[in-house]
A and B are shown apart, each in its own frame.
Chain A
Amino acid sequence: MSDKKYITIALPKGRLQEQIADYLKNVNITIKEESRKLDCYDHVNGYRFLFVKNSDVPVYVNYGVADLGVSGSDVIYEGDFEFLTLLTLPFGSTRICVAGYEKDRDLYFNTVNKSIYSKDLRIATKFTRFSRDFFLSKGVAATLIKLTGSVELAPILGLADYIIDLVETGTTLKENNLTVIDEIGRTEVRIIANRSLYKLNYKKIDDFISKVKSLSKE
Chain B
Amino acid sequence: MKINKALIHTPPGSKPLYMEEAKLRGLIRNKLTGFFENWSFLPVETPTIDYFDAYSKFLSDKQKKGSMRFVNRDGDIVILRNDITLFAAKSLIARASESAGTMRYYYADSIVRCQDNDAPTEYYQIGCEIVGEDFTLEELETLTILFESVKFMGLSGTVLHIGDISFYQKLFNGVVAADKVSAILDLIRLRDLKNLNILLKELKLPAETVADCLSTASFIGNKGDFKKLKLSDNGERALSDFRKLVAALETLGYGDEIVIDFSELPELDYYNGIIFHLYAEGIEMPLVSGGRYDLLFNEFGLNRNAVGFSFWLYPLEKLLMGKLNLGEDKSELVKITESDLSGLKRGAELAHSGKKVEISY
Total count of chain B residues near the partner, CB < 8 A: 21
Evaluate contact between B194 and A87: CB separation under 8 angstroms: yes
Option from B117, B190, B195, B279 in Cβ contact (under 8 Å) with A199 = B279
Task: Encode B182-221 as 1/0 by CB contact (under 8 A) with A.
Answer: 0000000011101100000000000000000000000010
Chain B residues near A194 (CB-CB < 8 A): 284
| Contact call A62/B190, Cβ cutoff below 8 A | no
Q: Which of A1, A79, A197, A206 contacts B284 (CB 8 A)?
A: A197
Known: A196-B286, A199-B259, A200-B281. A79 touches B190 (CB 8 A): no
Q: Is residue B277 contacting chain A, with contact meaning CB distance below 8 A?
A: yes
A196/B283 in contact, CB under 8 A: yes
- Is the pair A85, B191 in contact by a Cβ cutoff of 8 Å? yes
As a 0/1 sequence over residues 57 to 89 of chain B, the CB contacts with chain A under 8 angstroms (1 = contact) are 000000000000000000000000000000000
CB distance from A86 to the nearest CB of B (A): 6
B304 proximal to A (CB < 8 A):
no
Within the assembled complex, what's the spacing in Å between the Cα atoms of A86 and B277?
19
Which B residues lie within 8 Å of A206 (CB)? 220
Is A17 interfacial (CB 8 A cutoff)?
no
Question: Which of A64, A80, A87, A88 lies in contact with B117, CB distance below 8 A?
Answer: A80
Interface of chain A residues 45 through 93 with chain B (CB within 8 A): 62-64, 79-88
- With contacts A1-B159, A80-B116 taken as known, whether A199 is within 8 angstroms of B277 at the C-beta atoms is yes
Q: Does A109 lie at the interface of the complex (its beta carbon under 8 Å from any beta carbon of B)?
A: no
> Smallest distance from the beta carbon of B292 to chain A beta carbons, Å?
20
Q: B116 and A62: CB pair below 8 A?
A: yes
Q: Do B284 and A81 touch (CB < 8 A)?
A: no
By the criterion CB–CB under 8 Å, are A82 and B284 in contact?
A: no
Please tell me if A175 contacts chain B, counting CB pairs below 8 Å.
Answer: no
| Shortest Cβ gap from A85 to chain B (Å) | 4
Q: Which of B238-266 contact A (CB under 8 A)?
A: 259, 261, 263
Which of A64, A193, A199 sits near B161, CB closer than 8 Å? A199
Task: Name the interface residues of B141-163: CB closer than 8 Å to any CB of A.
Answer: 157, 159, 161
Give the total number of A-B pairs whose CB atoms are below 8 A apart.
53
User: Do B279 and A200 touch (CB < 8 A)?
Assistant: yes
Chain B CB within 8 A of A134 CB: no
Rounded to whole angstroms, the CA-CA distance of A87 and B193 in the bound complex is 8
Q: Scoring A residues 87 to 106 as 1 if CB is less than 8 Å from chain B, else 0, what string do you get?
A: 11000000000000000000
By the criterion CB–CB under 8 Å, are A63 and B284 in contact? Answer: yes
Question: Contact string, B16-28, partner A, CB cutoff 8 A, digits 1/0?
Answer: 0000000000000
Looking at the assembled complex, report how far the CB atom of B237 sits from the nearest CB atom of chain A, in whole angstroms.
28
A205 to chain B, nearest CB (A): 10
Contact yes or no, B220 A202, CB < 8 A: yes
- Contact pick for B194, options A1, A63, A88, A196, CB 8 Å: A88
- Per-residue contact bits, chain A 8-31, to B (CB 8 Å; 1 contact, 0 not): 000000000000000000000000
Expressed in whole angstroms, the minimum distance between the Cβ of A218 and any Cβ of chain B is 6
Whether A137 sits at the interface, judged by CB under 8 Å, is: no
Q: Does A2 contact B (CB under 8 A)?
A: yes
CB contacts (< 8 Å) of A83 on chain B: these are 190
CB distance from B314 to the nearest CB of A (A): 13
B285 on the A face (CB < 8 A): yes
Tell me which of B157, B192, B284 contacts A196 (CB under 8 A): B284
Per-residue contact bits, chain A 190-217, to B (CB 8 Å; 1 contact, 0 not): 0001111111101000100000000000
A4 to B117, CA, bound (A): 29
Complex CA gap A64/B281 in Å reads 11
| CB pair A86 B191 closer than 8 Å | yes
- Extra contacts, 13 of them, besides A85-B190, A200-B281 (Cβ < 8 A), are A1-B259, A79-B117, A80-B116, A80-B117, A82-B190, A84-B191, A84-B192, A84-B263, A86-B191, A197-B284, A198-B191, A199-B259, A200-B279
- Across the A-B interface, give the 10 residue pairs with the lowest CB-CB distance, nearest first: A64-B284, A80-B117, A85-B192, A84-B191, A81-B116, A199-B279, A196-B279, A85-B190, A199-B161, A200-B279
Which residues of A does B touch, CB under 8 Å? 1-2, 62-64, 79-88, 193-200, 202, 206, 218
Sampled A-B contacts (8; CB under 8 Å): A1-B259, A63-B284, A64-B285, A79-B117, A84-B263, A85-B192, A199-B159, A199-B279
